Chains A and B, each alone.
Chain A
């Protein structure tokens, strides 16, 4: 136990004593559960406000050690979830999470925060359903409100063939007990009255795949929650720590890197670290990190742009996705509409926004909802997506011993964060590939066993 942790738990206990209420007394058990980080409570907020106390750091800032059992490169949802589950499920706490900027500065803080599990392949469905289960209980698991809003998810079909794919997806989903069904335009109108379902549009809405368990979640809270939970177990988070090289020996490439090699550590801008296991969770920058270990990946980096409008009264109760119109939209609790589209059509590491994107997006959104023509955009941004040829991730072991990858998540990494962390932690702890991520191994590209998810993942969020 560090002094920080004592400080936090004793202060939260004090706030309980001060309030003296019976209901809060009963919550004391929850609060003093040593396996979880302390809860934030209204009583605690009141007491701290009255006393004028400062809030303690949510995670510690400590010096970089010379060696760790596991080094995780990339401090986003995937990296932090891996660290968290390593510590909670497997008791491996001598772990460092390195990020070259700040935690959640990449895709974890740039996505549109939509979660769902209505994928096309049985492998994909099983995987994302587990993720949704973990998201469902996350607030209690992490003792932090991640604002999960299970508001339903609707994928619109504008053509006969799209409708056919929806039926296919609905059947695959039903077989695996996922709540998912095809609905007609009248039902679409009932669920989202602002949508234009008339037959007079260019791409009339012919139906939709409705997936009630889908919804949105506050992505920053997920990052902070995992960081806080991992920190509570002794994992170290190091921000502003860039990995410059990965030390490998015994491989067939230059400097002993590449196939057959064994990882010995990483070189960072804050000094060398020795570690037998290095995990790559760097999304858009995945190939740059893998190259350092001599591992080639089937990944291209494309930017994905998103935009948000000014806040208005809540009028859109579900998440609406249209693959044909290349747009997905949801309304936040604050009232802003959050839009996303498909990735930019060429590979780049530049995160500049473009007018083409805004223009196209506005046009498509107005086709769906003609009545929001006077709404103004607040801002737009971009995040980097690591696209694979089959729109499925690359997870697990690589030809370099001790170097693991959890990359290739493309445009759908956020919704898979918890389950990826859980499965990667299991892979690291047991040194074997869990069944759920077996189909996503890197060697599938050598063997030709691709997992085609383009039908359900290319635009649909």
Chain B
């Protein structure tokens, strides 16, 4: 299938992990309108190219991590960091998203 570089366990087969989905920053639940919340819940970027995404190492270290993958070739372009830190992602990387900050990934909180 493909090898996913887990920061703790090294490269592992994708079937060992659970694909959580695109990494989007979660809006503050106390401040958002229902429409904004639903946009966060349902809308996807789904680019054919670089995608920042969250994986869960289900049968390894059982940790969440963020990775950067090219969805056309399935190549990972960075070495991911554990948790919801995205430090390994190149800051100049062109990410098609309206999200303002990446410090609070919904999937890992």
Contacts and interface: CB of A to CB of B under 8 A. Distances in A.
A and B found bound together:
yes
Interface of A: 285, 287-288, 291, 296-301, 344-350, 352, 354-356, 389, 445-446, 448
A300 B1 contact: no
A358 B47 CA distance: 28
Best-buried of A346, A348, A350 by chain B (most CB within 10 Å): A346
B38 interface: yes
A297 B43 contact: yes
9 contacts: A287-B44, A287-B46, A287-B47, A297-B44, A345-B14, A345-B18, A346-B19, A355-B1, A389-B41
B25 to A, nearest CB: 16
A345 B73 contact: no
Contacts of A389: 41-42
Instruction: Across the A-B interface, give the 7 residue pairs with the lowest CB-CB distance, nearest first.
Output: A346-B19, A298-B42, A287-B46, A354-B1, A445-B42, A296-B43, A349-B48
Given A300-B44, A347-B46, A445 B1 contact: no
A300 B35 contact: no
Question: What secondary structure prevails in chain B residues at the interface with A?
Answer: mixed
Contacts of B51: 347
A445 B43 contact: yes
B46 A301 contact: yes
B39 interface: yes
A192 B49 CA distance: 45
Interface in B38-80: 38-39, 41-48, 51, 53, 71-74
Contacts, number: 68
Nearest to B55: A346
B15 interface: yes
Interface of B: 1, 13-15, 18-19, 21-22, 34-35, 38-39, 41-48, 51, 53, 71-74, 96
A349 B44 contact: no
B71 A348 contact: yes
A91 B11 CA distance: 58
Contacts of B18: 345
A298 B43 contact: yes
Contacts of A352: 74
Contacts of B73: 350
A299 B46 contact: yes
A352 B39 CA distance: 31
B43 A300 contact: no
A162 B42 CA distance: 28
Nearest to A388: B42
Given A350-B73, A445-B38, A299 B15 contact: no
Tell which of B38, B45, B46, B73 has the most Cβ of chain A within 10 Å. Answer: B46
B44 A299 contact: yes
A280 B15 CA distance: 33
Contacts of A288: 46-48
